[in-house]
Chain A
Amino acid sequence: MFKPLNKILVNPIRLMIVSVLMKVENCDFNFLKQLTQTTQGNLSIQLKKLKECGYISIDKSFEKNYPKTNCKITKAGIKAFNDHFEKLKEYQNLNLKQKS
């Protein structure tokens, strides 16, 4: 019996954000914008959703009078990503078996 995929992480932008945060200690808004190739508004919405789920923490500060947003993955985010990835692999294996 396959469990459903995490609805929050099915969204490609949110999946990209969580994936990159699994690899790095922290990263800023501009890097995420460049990585996801999305608009500032959309990225802000996706970050807010991830924060509300408790998957990421957002630190806002000022650097040379400019606002700076830094994101970091939380323990809940790491667990959610790992679970999601395991489920993806299970689905992938099932697809391969069905094809063969």
Chain B
Amino acid sequence: METQDQIQLINDTINKAKENLKESSFSFIFWGSLIAILSFFHYSFPEIVQQTYYSSLLYWVLIPVIGMIITVVYNIKKRVKVGYETYAGRTLKIIWGVFNISWILLIFISFEKKINPTESILFLLGVMILITGLLIRFKPFSFGGISVIICSILCGYTPNNSWLLLNSIAAVLGLLLPGIYLYYRK
């Protein structure tokens, strides 16, 4: 084999194993929609969600845990179908896995301390989205992450009952819209 042919073969092979970002958009669209709906429902019908002392905790833990199971199963199936895992894909899997654990821990800590977790969760989510955007070099995620961080800062200047509305807006700006943009990106 000629040297030029070998270099060409290396280039062609490496190009065949690109991270398929379009398929990753499912998780962002799913979580953006889920959080926006949960927040808006809680904001609109607080008497249903906060019926008992533990009902809101269950609402904000049980449904997201089911969501986590759905996305984990989807991502495992995707990995098996594709047949490989890129370094960027593995990094994203780790940082979002750490976020999932931190999110649940923050909810339990806030519940114990009787404080609203929205502000801290939004800040953490914003940082994660920003890291994702910078890592995959996709500006809508970077801007989405900054929007979510701004929403978390705004929580400090708005009454407590409007935090759920901010949470809903942050989910749309930070997850849903960049996810849709990623899906339709060529």
Tell me the A residues contacting B by CB distance below 8 Å: 10, 12, 15-16, 19-20, 22-28, 30-31, 34-35, 63, 85, 88-89, 91-92, 95
Contacts and interface: CB of A to CB of B under 8 A. Distances in A.
B86 interface: yes
A23 B86 contact: yes
B79 to A, nearest CB: 9
Interface string B72-103: 00000000101111110110000000000000
> Majority SS of interface residues in chain A?
helix
Contacts of A92: 3-4, 7
A99 B48 CA distance: 80
| 9 A-B pairs with the lowest CB-CB distances in the bound complex, closest first | A31-B83, A27-B84, A19-B13, A91-B3, A24-B84, A19-B10, A25-B85, A16-B13, A28-B83
A16 B10 CA distance: 6
Residue among A34, A63, A88 with most chain B CB within 10 A: A88
B37 interface: no
A35 B18 CA distance: 13
